[in-house]
Amino acid sequence: MSNILYTAGQFLHPESDGHMTFQEKSTLAMTGIVVLVYGWYFTLVIGEIAGSPDREVAYQGLMVPVVILLVILAAAAHAVIAVTAPSQAGVEDERDRLIGLRGQRIARYVLATGTVAGLGLAMGRADTFWIAQVLLGTLVTAEIAEGTTRLVLYRARSLT
């Protein structure tokens, strides 16, 4: 895992010294996990479950393994990150906090847009199945947008 993160850092910004902070590794791991787990969820839901007559029950049932998978993968990833660099585990400084805030600002726009889309569907009396997918999709997209923004800012030429 540590080597993968080092290589990812070099790929993202070859001029850097390649070493990532705990927070940057955590962001990279969590963004990857969210993309993988929810990619699997939406592939199933949009691909197969949407056409099923009992889709309301099916997608709610799928939420349980999704949450369990997220928790297990997140815990495993953070355990590996912490073990490979114990002195950095959980460390966060002012640059990490600034980058985090910038990421949250981008995520806020995604959340606002998705919420309006969800409201539009509700006012148009759309099926609750699709309203739920739009709202969940909004949360996931906001999380990915925040993570991606943070990863870009960690490797940016300037952060002012």
Partner 1 sequence: MTRPTRIANRISALRTNAGQMSQAELAARVGVTRQTVNAIEGEKYSPSLEVAFKISRVFDVPLEDVFQYPDLRDRP
User: Which of these segments, 21-29, 46-54, 63-71, 137-145, binds partner 1 (CB under 8 A)?
Assistant: 21-29
Does the footprint of partner 1 cover residue 24 (CB under 8 A)?
Answer: yes
Sign of the CA dihedral running 81, 86, 88, 92: positive
Least CB distance to partner 1 at residue 101 (A):
13
Does the footprint of partner 1 cover residue 108 (CB under 8 A)?
Answer: no
Least CB distance to partner 1 at residue 109 (A):
13
DSSP assignment string, 82-115: HHHSGGGTT---HHHHHHHHHHHHHHHHHHHHHH
d(C-alpha 160, C-alpha 142), whole Å: 23
Does the footprint of partner 1 cover residue 104 (CB under 8 A)?
Answer: no
Torsion angle of C-alpha atoms 110, 11, 66, 84, degrees rounded to 10: -120
Does the footprint of partner 1 cover residue 146 (CB under 8 A)?
Answer: no
User: Under a CB-based contact definition with an 8 Å cutoff, are residues 95 and 26 in contact?
Assistant: no
From candidates 102, 115, 117, 129, binder to partner 1 by CB under 8 A: 102
Residues found near partner 1 in the complex (CB under 8 A): 17, 19-22, 24, 88, 91, 93-96, 102, 153, 156-160
